[in-house]
Structure 1
Amino acid sequence: MRLCRLALLLLLLPCAALAQDRRSTLRVSLNTELQVLDPLVTTINATRVFAYLVFDTLVSLDAEGQYRPQMLQGWEISPDRLTYSFTLREGLEWSDGQPVTAEDCVASIRRWAKREALGGQLMAATREMRVVDARRFEIRLNRPFAFVIEALGKAGHTIPVMMPARLAAHDPNLPVPEIIGSGPYRFLQSEWRPGERASFVRNPRYRPREEPPSALAGGKVPRMERIELLSIADQATRAAALEAGELDFLEVLPFDFIARMRRNRAILVGQPRGIDQFLAVLNINHAVPPFNDPAVRRALQATILQPEVMAAMGLPDDMVVPWCGSIYMCNAAGTTEAGTEGLRAASTERARTLLRASSYRGEPVVFLHAAASALLNPIGLVMADQMRRAGFNVDLRSTDYATVAQKRLSRAPVEQGGWSVAPIVLNGVDLVNPLANPLIAYNCVEYPGWYCDPRLKDLTARYSEAATPEEQRRLADELQAVVHDAVTFIPGGQFAGPPAWRADLRGVVPFSFPVFWGVERR
C-alpha cells in the first residue's frame, strides 16, 4: 500500500497498474515527453527511444562504431562501387503478421530521404532503387557515394526505420496514422495517454539476431514483458520515484542528485563518455540582423566562454569537458582541433573589440531561453549574461522548451516576433558523420538558423565521394574549419547527462540514448 500511496501522490499510475508483476515490467521516465510517434517528423529524443522499441533498421551501429547488418542478411558492393545489393533476413514479419518485403524497405528509404540531410544526399547520388524479389533490392548510384551503409545505419535523429510500404507512402511531413513495426516491442496505441503514459509489450513476431547485443546492433532480445514510459515533469519527483522504487530507469538523472545517487547502493549511475555525451551549442539566426553579418557572428563567437557555461551545469568534474572545439565531439574518434583558433581566443574584451568594429549598433537581440529545461536553463542564463557583458542588447524570452522549439521555426524579423539566438543541446551520436552533423548538413536548406556557405557545399560533396579514411579525415578537418570561420553555430561545452537505474536491473546497454532490449531484473 505504501507504493500505491506514493504513486497517487506523484500522479504516476493508478494502483491497479502498480499491481502488475514487477519483475516483468520496466518503468521508465524520459527527459522529454513522448508526443509524436513518427521519428521522421520530430527530433525529440523521446521519439527516437520510441522508434528503437517498435521499429527496426536495415543496418545498425555497434559499440565499436562499426556498421553491421540488422534486418539485412548482408550486402554486396560491385567492383566499381556503384551498385549495392541488399538481402533481407528470412522470416521477418511486421507486428500485424505480414511479411517484411524489399518493396517495404525501398518505400521506407524513399520516405526517410525526403526528411533527412544524409538521406537526401544519398538519393542525389542514386540513379535508381530497384526491387529484385521479395527479399532483395538494389541501390544503383550515378556517382560514387562513400556512405551508403552509414546512411542506412544512421543512429542519429531522423532514423531510417523500416515500415510497411502502405505507411511509407504517407506524406513524410505528417506522422503516419498507424504504428506497425518489426522491432522488439509492440506499441499499445489504444492505451496511450499523452502527458501520462505510453505502454509497450513484447512483439511475439520479432526475430532477434543471434549475436550478442552491442550498442544498437546484434540480438535485441526483449526480456521484459512490458515497458511503461511515464511522464513526470518535475525533476525532483523523478529522482524521488527512482529512489522509492516507483521507477526503474531515468534517462537523465537531475544533476543535483548525482552525488546522492552515487552513494545509494540501490541505484547505479551511468558514466557517458565521448559521443555518448552532449554538446551545448548556440543556435544563431543567420537570416535576420544582426547575425546575418559575419563580423557580428565572430564577435558572438568570442563572447561564449565554455568553462563558465559548463561550470553552471553543476556536474561532477568527471562528467564535464570544460572546453571542446570539435564539432564531432571531444574524446572521440573524429576529434580534431582544426579551425579552433578563434574559439580558443574567446574573451569578453576581445568580444567587445570585435563588436565595436562590426555593424552592430545596439539593436535588441532576442534570446530564446528554455527556462523549464533542466539542461537548457543554466546554459541559457550564462550565455545571455556573457552576451550582455560583451555589449549585446539582450532581450531574454524565457519560456518552456516546446515554445522555444516552435519559435525557432520563424524566419520573421525580430521586430515582428522573430528570434536571434537560442541555446540547444545535441547528442554526440548525431555529430560523428559530417554528412549528418546538423552544424554542417543543413547548409542552405530549411533548418532553424538558415546558415548558407558555398564552401560547405563543395566540401560535403567531396567528402561524400572520399574513397579513403585519410581523405575523409582531411576533408572533415576542412569542414570544421569552415564551420568555425563562418560561425554557423557556437559550441558551449561538452557534458554528460547521466542515466540512472535500479541496481536490480542487468543487461542495460550503454549508449547515447536509452534502449531497453536485453534488460531484465536480477
Structure 2
Amino acid sequence: MLKNWLRRTVLASAVLAAGWGGAVAQPAERPLRLVVNVGLQVLDPIAGTSFITRNFGYMVFDTLVAMDSKGQFQPQMLEGWTVSDDGLTYTFTLRPGLEWHDGKPVTAEDCVASLKRWGARDSSGRRLMAATQELRAESENRFVLQLSRPFGGVIDALGKPSVHVPFMMPARLATTPPTQPVAEIIGSGPFLFVKDEWVPGERTVFRRNPRYRPRSEPADGLAGGKVVHVERAEFVNIADPATRAAALQNGEVDYLEYAPLDFLPVLGRDRNLQLARPGGIAQIMGGVALNHAQPPFNNLKVRQALQLALDQSEIVAVHGLPDGMFLPNCGATTMCGTRYSSDAGSEPVRSPSLERAQALLQDSGYRNERVVLLHPADSALINPMAMVVADRMKRAGFNVDVQTLDWATVAQRWLSREPVERGGWSAVPVVYTGFDLSDPLSNMGIGYNCTGTTPWLYCDEALTPLLQRFEAEADLDKRRAIMAEINQRVIANVNFPLTGQFSSPAVWRKELQGVIDFGFPVLWNVRRVSR
C-alpha cells in the first residue's frame, strides 16, 4: 500500500511538471522524504506546541539567532548585535538581502512584531518581555531592545531552538494573537510550503526557496549556511513502526525522524543505513504531566507518592535499548549531560520505592479517587512507557483509569480544566528533548511556574524568587549554582515527575550526504548521491 501511494505521488508530480513545462514531460526529481513521528496538523509554530510544528517551522521560517553544534549561539538572520556597557541595551542589525516568500523585504518592524508575538506565548519570551522597557525599530534593518532590568539570557532566548522557537514572520501576520493560527504561511526560510498538496496528518510538501540567501559559513547545527540541494522535500506520516522501517530499507523513503526502537538492531546492521548518535541535549526525557489544579494531584503528598513510584530504569527498559542509549534514574530536571545539570535534592528520583510510595499515599489522605491517565497509543515513544507508568501507579495504590487515545485527542483533552467527572484529566505521560528542557526558563516543568499558561497549572511560590535570580544573572557558574537550588525545589514540589532519559536516534539512507546530526531533522545541506 505504501509503495503504491508513493508511486502515485511521484506520478502526480511528473504530470504537474508536464502541465507547467510544455508538451514533453521531464522525469521528476525524486523528492527527499522524511518520515515524521506524528502527522502535521498545526502549521503556525507560535500557536502550535508540537515537535512536528517546530520541524515545519524550520523549513519555512528563519530565526535571528541560531544554535550551532556546540550549543553556542550565532547570528542567523542577523548580521550581528552590540550590547551597551551596562548590559541593558541590545542593538540588532539584519543582514542585507533578506526576503519573505512573497518577495517583500524583511524589515526590522517585522522582527519587532514577531518577537512581541512570540514573547506573549513562550516562557522565555514572556520573561524577556517582562524585563523589556522598549522594543523598537530604528531603521529598515536595525532594531533595539531596551531592558528595564538585568536579564542574563537575551541571546539564549532569541536562539531558543525548540518549542516555542522565535521564528520571524511578516508584521501583518505577527499581529495575529499568539494562540490563534496565522492566516497564511509566509516565511523567509530555505523552503516554500506547497499548501495545495498538504494532506493534514499525512503528507506535507515543500519546494526549494529560490529567493533564500544562505549565510556564507558552513552549516553547523541550526546555524551557518542553509543551502538547499533538492528541489522538493516531503514530510510523510507512516503510523506503523514496521512499515516505517521497511520503507526506509527499501528506499521508498530517505529519513526517519525516529528509528523504531524495536528495529534498532536490524537497522543498525543494514550497511545502507546510518544511525544518528544523539547525546546530552539531543536525548529525550520522559515525564508525567500532572493536573496540579484538580484532586488528587493538588495534594503535595500524593504527588510525592507518585514520584517515588516511578522507577526510571524499569520504565525506560520497556524500549529494550542497548547500553549507552539510556541513563538510569537521572535526577536532573534539566536533563543529565546538559549545561545546567544538577542532581541536588534528587534522592526520591534516584531511589524509587513502591513500598515507600504506598505508605506515603496512605498517609496523604488519598481516598481512592479516580486518576484519569490519558494514554497516547499512537506515539511509538510514549505508548510503551505509559503502560509501565500506569502499572507502577496501580501497584502504588492509585485508582487508575487509563483512557487510550490518539495524540491529537490527548492534546485537546489536555487543555481541559474540568474535573475528571466532566471530561477532565489527571495525568499525561509525555516526552521532551534537551532542547526543550535544558534551560530552566523554557523547561515545561520549571519555567511556567505560577503563570497559569500550561495545562498542568503548577505553582510553587518558593520557586519564583529562584527563577528571578536565574534570569537576572549572566555569569554561567553563578547560574549553575542557582540551578542546583531550583532542581531541589522542583523535585520537592513534584512539578513534573520524570520517567527516564534515553536516546531515540534518527536514521537515514547513506546515499544522503551532508545530513546534520543535531537531534531533530533539518533538510538543508542534504544532497542525494549515487552509491
State the TM bucket, normalised to the shorter chain: over 0.9
Task: Please say if 1:504 is aligned against 2:500.
Answer: no
The change in CA–CA distance for 1:10 and 1:362 in structure 2 (over 3 A counts) is farther
Query: The residue matched to 2:462 in structure 1 has which SS?
Result: helix
Alignment partner, residue 19 of structure 2: none
Whichever residue aligns with residue 355 of structure 1, its letter is: L
Task: State the identity as a percent.
Answer: 52
Task: Give the Å deviation of 1:6.
Answer: 5.7
Q: In the alignment, which of 422, 426, 431 is matched to residue 428 of structure 2? A: 422
TM-score, scaled relative to structure 2: 0.95
Choose from 133, 137, 149 the match for 1:127: 133
User: Helix, strand or coil for the counterpart of 1:28?
Assistant: strand
Once residues 269 and 370 of structure 1 are traced to their aligned partners in structure 2, the CA distance between those partners, rounded to angstroms, is: 26
Amino acid at match of 1:504: E
- In 2, are the aligned partners of 1:62 and 1:216 still within 8 Å (CA)? yes
Matches of 2:14 and 2:267 in 1, distance apart? 24
What per-residue deviation string (whole Å, max 9, x for no partner) do you get for residues 64-119 of structure 1? 11111100000000001111000000111111111111001001101111111111
What is the one-letter code of the residue matched to 1:197?
R
**How far apart are residue 18 of structure 1 and its match?**
7.8
366, 370, 373: which is aligned to 2:372? Answer: 366
How far apart are 1:46 and its partner, in Å? 1.2
Q: Figure out how many residues of one structure are paired with residues of the other and give that number.
A: 518
Other-structure match for 1:390:
396
| Length-normalised TM-score, structure 1 | 0.96
SS of alignment partner, residue 339 of structure 2: coil
Distance 2:187 2:418 in 1: 39
Q: Distance in 2 between matches of 1:38 and 1:12?
A: 29
1:464 aligns with 2:484: no
Q: Which residue does 2:308 correspond to in 1?
A: 302
Q: State the Cα distance separating 1:278 from its structure 2 match.
A: 0.6
In 1: Cα distance, 2:426 partner to 2:42 partner: 27
Q: 1:348 aligns with which of 354, 366, 369?
A: 354
Establish whether residue 7 from structure 1 lines up as the match of residue 13 from structure 2: no
- In the alignment, residue 416 of structure 1 is paired with which amino acid? R
More displaced 10-residue stretch of structure 1: 224-233 or 511-520: 224-233
Q: Give the C-alpha shift of residue 196 in structure 1.
A: 3.0
Does the 8 Å contact 2:291/2:455 carry over to 1? Answer: yes
The question of whether the paired residues in 1 share the 8 Å contact of 2:329 and 2:349 is answered with no
- Judged with a 3 Å threshold, the aligned counterparts in structure 2 of structure 1 residues 351 and 22 are, in CA distance, closer, same or farther, namely farther
The corresponding residue for 1:276 is 282
Match of 2:71 in 1: 65
Q: Which runs of 5+ in 1 are unaligned?
A: none
Show the counterpart of 2:216: 210
Distance in 1, matches of 2:487 and 2:317, equals: 25
Local SS of the residue matching 2:169: coil
In structure 1, distance between residues paired with 2:520 and 2:366: 40
Correspondence 1:238-387 to 2 at 5 A:
238-387=244-393
Listed as ranges, the matches of 1:427-442 within 5 Å are 427-442=433-448
Matched residue SS, 1:318: coil
1:287 to 1:21, Cα distance in 2 relative to 1, 3 A: farther
Residues 189, 6 of structure 1: alpha-carbon distance in 2 compared, 3 angstrom cutoff: closer
> Aligned runs of 1:171-186 on 2, under 5 Å?
171-186=177-192
For residue 154 of structure 1, what is the amino acid of its counterpart? K
Q: Distance in 2 between matches of 1:16 and 1:40?
A: 32
- Partner Cα separation in structure 1 for residue 198 and residue 38 of structure 2: 16
Aligned-partner SS, 1:133: coil
SS of residue matched to 1:220: coil
Q: Distance in 2 between matches of 1:347 and 1:270?
A: 35
* Closer/same/farther in 2, CA of residues 21 and 200 from structure 1, 3 Å limit: farther
Preserved CA contact (<8 Å) 2:10 2:30 = no
Query: SS in structure 1 opposite 2:157?
Result: helix
User: Among residues 110, 119, 131, which one is paired with 2:116 in the alignment?
Assistant: 110
Q: Take 2:117 and 2:100, find their aligned partners in 1: how far apart are those partners?
A: 18
Report 1:31-110 matches (<5 A): 31-110=37-116
Aligned 1:148-187 pairs, distance under 5 A: 148-187=154-193
1:450 matches 2:457: yes
Equivalent residue, structure 1, for 2:520? 513
CA distance in 2, matches of 1:359, 1:6: 53
For 2:496, the equivalent position in structure 1 comes to: 489
Of residues 404-413 and 23-32 in structure 1, the stretch that sits farther from structure 2 once superposed is 23-32
Q: Secondary structure at the match of 1:441?
A: coil
Task: Report the residue type matching 2:95 in the other structure.
Answer: R
Secondary structure (helix, strand or coil) at the match of 2:482 reads helix
What letter matches 1:339 in structure 2? G
The root-mean-square deviation of aligned C-alpha atoms, in Å, is: 1.6
Going from structure 1 to structure 2, the CA distance change for 1:331 and 1:322 (only over 3 Å counts) comes to: same
* Residues 170-223 of structure 1 deviation map (CA, whole Å, 9 limit, x = unaligned): 121111111111111111112212233211111111111111111100111111
Q: In the alignment, is the contact (CA less than 8 A) between 1:32 and 1:44 conserved in 2? A: no
Match of 2:206 among 181, 195, 200: 200
1:435–1:238 CA distance, 2 compared to 1 (3 A): same
Letter in 2 for 1:465: A
Could you tell me how far apart the structure 2 residues matched to 1:331 and 1:117 are? Answer: 22
- Cα distance change, pair 358–242 in 1 and its aligned pair in 2 (3 A): same
Whether the 8 Å CA contact 2:220–2:516 is kept in 1: the answer is yes
* Gap change, CA 1:519 and 1:291, over 3 Å in 2: same
Does the 8 A contact of 1:262 with 1:269 survive in 2? yes
1:146 and 1:273 map into 2 onto residues whose CA distance is 26
Using the TM superposition, give the Cα deviation of residue 426 of structure 1 relative to its aligned residue in structure 2, in angstroms: 0.6
SS at match of 2:497: strand
In the alignment, structure 1 residue 478 sits paired with structure 2 residue 485: yes
For residues 9 and 95 of structure 1, what CA distance do their matches in structure 2 show? 30
